[in-house]
Structure 1
């Protein structure tokens, strides 16, 4: 098998986050395994517990905070696809939205990269962003809650 093809397969495994890929072509076969870090799902859960604290504080913190009972009052904006969530348009840039900010229908809340395409995730209701449930650059699943929006109802 051509080394360029193998390199492309390795890049594909790294970018998509799949654990293992096996390709057979004729009498040749290649298996690529990638060790993924299992603490990542726990890291996704920390922002949920920290959401009430982030709403009270003007600046969000990136460090771990004490666990509290998650509050999910309000409208949940869920991921329409599997991919990687980005909270800002470019690395180091200001996030699209902040917890406590008033948002309108159509406001961009984040981007989800899927298959090398960046997809805008827009607010489907107006209200106040009460919680951000994902961190920048983290993988997201289909139908995973991303944000909680307090619609005032």
Structure 2
């Protein structure tokens, strides 16, 4: 990534309400985090086979949480993943019953949850018929794109 592009990204983060921005391209990965004073600090990691070259600007050190995290349990069955970033809801209204429970039979196309993104409620449908064996998110939880939501067997 050339320096002009990096400078533009830093200025963009500094002038916006964004607190963190991460971009991955073929030639590297850039993570820009806004500090307490509103100044954006980049962390640039070049993608090279070996050895890896890392260029640091004054930014907080990356946390090695991935190495310390326990191994995720192996899931069997079909995983329904989030198609977007948003907030996970198990029912259409706070007082109504959830779309599905563990043990619920679903057909392809049945609504299984709602993901709120930018004040829009998006119904997420089962992409396979079967039985819900696991619900992997909590109601009201912020979720990422591609995050597993349900296991269907």
Q: TM-score, normalised by structure 1?
A: 0.54
Given the alignment, which residue of 98, 101, 110 partners 1:98?
Answer: 101
Q: Which has the larger radius of gyration?
A: 2
Q: Give 1:144 deviation, angstroms.
A: 0.4
Shift of 1:93: 1.5
* Residue equivalent to 1:76: 79
Deviations 1:114-150 (A, max 9, x none): 0111111000100000100001000000000000000
Partner residue, 1:86: 89
- Aligned position for 2:9: none
Which 4+ stretches in 1 moved above 2 angstroms? none
Tell whether 2:118 aligns with 1:110.
no
Between Structure 1 and Structure 2, the one with more strand by share is 2
| CA distance in 2: counterparts of 1:138 and 1:19, whole angstroms | 20
Is 1:122 aligned with 2:125?
yes
Q: Structure 1 CA distance, aligned partners of 2:105 and 2:122? A: 22
Q: Does 1:142 align with 2:137?
A: no
- Structure of greater relative contact order (alpha carbons < 8 Å, 6+ residues apart): 1
Unmatched runs of 5 consecutive residues or more in structure 2: 1-16, 21-36, 39-71
Shift of 1:71: 4.4
Deviation at 1:19, TM superposition (A): 5.1
Provide the C-alpha distance between the structure 2 equivalents of 1:71 and 1:90, rounded to a whole number of angstroms: 32
Distance 1:148 1:19 in 2: 33
Pick the structure with more helix per residue. 1
Once residues 113 and 86 of structure 1 are traced to their aligned partners in structure 2, the CA distance between those partners, rounded to angstroms, is 8
Task: Give per-residue Cα distances to partners, 1:81-127, cap 9 Å, x unaligned.
Answer: 00000001111221000001110011100000001111110001000
Superposition TM-score, scaled by structure 2 size: 0.54
